[in-house]
Structure 1
Amino acid sequence: MDRANRFRAEAASQDLPSEEVEEWIRAARPAAYLAEGGDGTPVARIGGDPLLPHGVPRPSDHFVASVDLAALPPGATDLPLPADGHLLLFAGTDMHGIGGQVPDAVLYVPAGTPTTPSPLEHGGREPYRPRELRTVWHQPSAQMPESFALDRWGGIPEDEQFELADELGDAWAHGGGHRPAWALQIGGHPVSPQNDPVHYARDSRDAGPSVRGGAPRGEGADDWVLLATWRCGDDVTELDSGVAHWVVRRQDVAARRFDRVHRYVEMA
């Protein structure tokens, strides 16, 4: 609420319309941001070899991270994630078009499942640099201005509407809405150097007719959410400011259908 009130005050000082200010706040979603440093319990582990359950087929891409779901603060996201166990994320470095559904991009390992270190070999590439993420922030995550404009006004917004969305974004940042330095984001809205991966997934051919094209606030549109984003950094030198996103329907998270995740890899 403090962050929202600071945003309201900043927006009021710029004479931004209060109705759109409240809509911006309503559209924000809670997110957890994980980073290196700190001395607490590791919340996630990036790189190295994954711990895979016995008999599970080897994923088709490189291991990125394992998130300890029990270590996430309660209410850090609004995703219906399991209360415990580990969420394993996988991504390569090749940019195949704009991405799409990848059945083995995410693996959920329930707590107590026997696992073993499982080296993955893909094209002779070494595993990503292993490190632990012990620091976690959780705070509201606002949409990117262009995404907000598209969802708010639908179709092709007017130039003035895009400008207003940019002004709202600036006011949010000025009011303390900056995301902290982080390596892995769970939930919230994506930060993308190119295009919104949630919009891509929502508008994809297999998204279903009720959520495609022209009706972002219609039935099923809000079911598409960001599961996670990884800032590749120095781990992927062939991508300039590379990021990987995992996007999923909320109902599939609740049903533990992580085989329906869409993944997008891009760079600035």
Structure 2
Amino acid sequence: MHSPQTYREEARTKGVPEHAIDLALSLALPQAELTPSDKDGGVLVGRYGGLPSLPEGVEWDNGLDLVASVDCAALPQDACNLPLPRDGHLLFFADRTDPDGFALMHDSRSVIHVQAGTPTTERTLPENHFPAFAPHPLYARTFPSLPMTADDAVLPHPEIRRLYDEYELEYLDQRLPQWDESLHLGGYAYSPQDPPIMGSSPEDEKGSWVLLAQAQFDMPDDPGFTACVFWIIQRDELAAGNFAAAGLVSISYH
């Protein structure tokens, strides 16, 4: 959403009572939207696409393509709801050949944190590989995000779900996230299908997964199909900086 106030004003025009609006806004989380545009005070925080630069001895699963590299030190401290590293670079990789699947790939290297000051070299693509995403700068702005009706923040809670359904709270946000050549950090998942497991409590059997980042891109081998990719991680692994434990979820739509 643009802001809590714009959401409240839109909801009031639809006749939504204040207690339902308050409920929706109480669930809002900050989300960093990293896009190619620096308008409206966007802060330069990284790069979309290109080839990965990695330290010696760090393996790159070159079946995965670099989607974005984020300079953690450049991110405003309140850019999102996650305790991200305060320095170094986070590199996000995804599979452009298999648009559907869910794997807790603890050694997948779908997210790599390169410590600040570590010497790196740019890797090269193997033969017959898709060209890398065209590189360009990414600029960050923070917006409040709201959960979808099927999100874990809503689905298990009968009263919250009732209000979400009755007043269509999910659909009152008039701002559409930007997806082209962009990356979103933290917040809630936006998905054409049910979102991946998010927001579970530490006691939940689902393992307390949180959304680390998400992106969308066209599938090179499947014209007309778009892949939605979600990088997720358990809270304790994120706190420990163990990004090798991140999972990668992919959903495709036409």
Task: Provide TM-score, normalisation by structure 1.
Answer: 0.78
Between Structure 1 and Structure 2, the one with more helix by share is: 1
User: Which residue matches 2:138?
Assistant: 134
Correspondent of 1:211 among 189, 204, 220: 204
Q: Secondary structure at the match of 1:89?
A: strand
* Deviation for aligned residue 1:27: 1.5
**Mean Cα displacement is larger for which, 24-33 or 180-189?**
180-189
Residue 118 in structure 1 maps to residue 126 in structure 2: no
1:267 maps to a residue whose letter is S
* 1:2 shift after superposition: 8.1
Decide whether the 8 Å contact of 1:94 with 1:265 is kept in 2: no
Q: Compute the displacement of 1:80 (Å).
A: 0.4
Q: Supply the distance in 2 between the matched residues of 1:135 and 1:142 (Cα, whole angstroms).
A: 22
Q: 1:246 to 1:18 in 2, by over 3 A?
A: same
Q: Equivalent residue of 1:146, what SS?
A: coil
Residue number in structure 1 paired with 2:87: 84
Return closer, same or farther for 1:227/1:95 CA change in 2, 3 Å cut-off: same
Structure 1 stretches lacking a partner, 5+ long: 214-219
Tell me the equivalent position of 2:155. 150
With over 3 angstroms needed to count, the CA separation of the structure-2 counterparts of 1:52 and 1:162, relative to structure 1, is: same
Q: Is the 8 A contact 1:77 1:188 kept in 2?
A: yes
1:45 corresponding residue in structure 2? 47
Letter of the 2:222 counterpart: E
The Cα of 1:181 is off from its aligned counterpart by: 5.3
Tell me, in whole angstroms, the C-alpha distance in 2 between the residues paired with 1:42 and 1:162.
36
**Which residue of the other structure, out of 238, 242, 262, is the alignment partner of 2:222?**
238
- Given that residues 50 and 134 in structure 2 are in contact (C-alpha distance below 8 angstroms), is that contact kept between their aligned partners in structure 1? yes
Structure 2 vs 1, CA of residues 129 and 97 (structure 1 numbering), >3 Å: closer, same or farther? closer
TM-fit CA distance, 1:251: 2.4
Shift of 1:230: 1.6
Matches within 5 A, 1:89-104: 89-95=92-98, 98-102=101-105, 103=107, 104=109
1:126/1:42 CA distance change after superposition, 3 Å: farther
In structure 1, what is the equivalent of residue 6 of structure 2? Answer: 6
State whether structure 2 residue 70 is matched by structure 1 residue 67: yes
Structure 1 residues 143 and 179, CA gap change in structure 2 (3 angstroms)? same
Give the number of aligned pairs.
245
Structure 1: 4+ residue segments shifted above 6 A? none
Give me the identity figure in percent. 30
TM-score with structure 2 setting the length: 0.82
State the AA in 2 paired with 1:178.
L
Q: Cα RMSD (Å) of the superposition?
A: 3.1
**What residue ranges of structure 2 are gaps of 5+ in the alignment?**
none
TM-superposition CA deviations, 1:168-216 (whole Å, max 9, x none): 122232xxx43345511111111112221234x96xxxx99x3237xxx
One-letter code aligned to 1:230:
A
* Equivalent-residue separation in structure 1 for 2:80 and 2:21 (angstroms): 22
